[in-house]
Structure 1
Amino acid sequence: MHYGSIFVETLFGFVTLFILTKVLGKTQIKQLTAFDFISALILGELVGNALYDKEVGILEIGFAVLLWGILMYITEFVTQKYKKSRSLLEGQPSIVIHKGKLQREIMKKGKLDMNQLLHLLRSKDVFTVQEVDYAILETDGTVSVLKKTNFQTPTRKDLQLPLENVELSFMIINDGEIIYDNLTEVGYDEKWLTEELKKQQIFSVQSIFYAEYSKSNGLYVQKA
Structure 2
Amino acid sequence: MHTNFLSLTTELLVGFFALLILTKVLGKNQITQLTPFDFISALVLGELVGNAIYDKEIGLQYVIYAIFFWGSLIYFIEMLTQKFRGTRAYLEGTPALIIANGKIQYEELRKNKLDLNQLQHLLREKSVFSVREVQYGVLETNGSVSVLKKQQFDTPINKDLNIPAKSVSLPILLILDGELITESLQQLNMSEEWLKEELLRRGIPEIKAVMYAEWLEGEGFEIQTYDRKKGSK
TM-score (norm 2): 0.92
Moved more, 40-49 or 191-200: 191-200
> How far is 1:69 from its partner?
1.1
1:212 pairs, out of 211, 214, 219, with 214
> How far is 1:29 from its partner?
0.5
Q: Find the aligned partners of 1:187 and 1:114 in 2 and give their Cα distance.
A: 55
1:7 pairs, out of 6, 9, 17, with 9
2:97 pairs, out of 83, 95, 98, with 95
Aligned twin of 2:25: 23
Aligned twin of 1:166: 168
Structure 2 regions of 5+ residues with no counterpart?
227-233
Q: Percent identity?
A: 50
2:47 equivalent to 1:36: no
> How far is 1:4 from its partner?
2.3
2:157 pairs, out of 155, 162, 166, with 155
SS at match of 1:55: coil
Q: Find the aligned partners of 2:21 and 2:221 in 1 and give their Cα distance.
A: 37
Aligned twin of 1:143: 145
SS at match of 1:150: helix
Q: Find the aligned partners of 2:75 and 2:201 in 1 and give their Cα distance.
A: 53
> How far is 1:114 from its partner?
0.8
2:96 equivalent to 1:74: no
Q: Find the aligned partners of 1:154 and 1:186 in 2 and give their Cα distance.
A: 34
Any idea what the Cα deviations from partners look like across 1:49-68, whole Å, max 9, x if unmatched? 11210111221101110111
Report the residue type matching 1:28 in the other structure. Answer: Q
Question: Matched residue pairs, number?
Answer: 224
Moved more, 132-141 or 56-65: 56-65
Q: Find the aligned partners of 1:131 and 1:186 in 2 and give their Cα distance.
A: 44
Moved more, 4-13 or 23-32: 4-13
Q: Find the aligned partners of 1:185 and 1:106 in 2 and give their Cα distance.
A: 51
> How far is 1:146 from its partner?
0.3
2:119 pairs, out of 106, 117, 120, with 117
Any idea what the Cα deviations from partners look like across 1:183-216, whole Å, max 9, x if unmatched? 3233433222122112112222122211111012
Structure 1 regions of 5+ residues with no counterpart?
none
> How far is 1:35 from its partner?
1.1
SS at match of 2:64: helix
Q: CA 1:129/1:187 → structure 2, altered by over 3 Å: closer, same or farther?
A: farther
SS at match of 1:160: coil
Any idea what the Cα deviations from partners look like across 1:19-54, whole Å, max 9, x if unmatched? 111111111010000111011001100111112101
TM-score (norm 1): 0.96
Aligned twin of 1:175: 177
SS at match of 1:171: strand
2:201 equivalent to 1:199: yes
Q: CA 1:28/1:194 → structure 2, altered by over 3 Å: closer, same or farther?
A: same
Q: Find the aligned partners of 1:40 and 1:193 in 2 and give their Cα distance.
A: 45
> How far is 1:106 from its partner?
0.5
CA RMSD of aligned residues (A): 1.2
2:49 pairs, out of 24, 34, 47, with 47
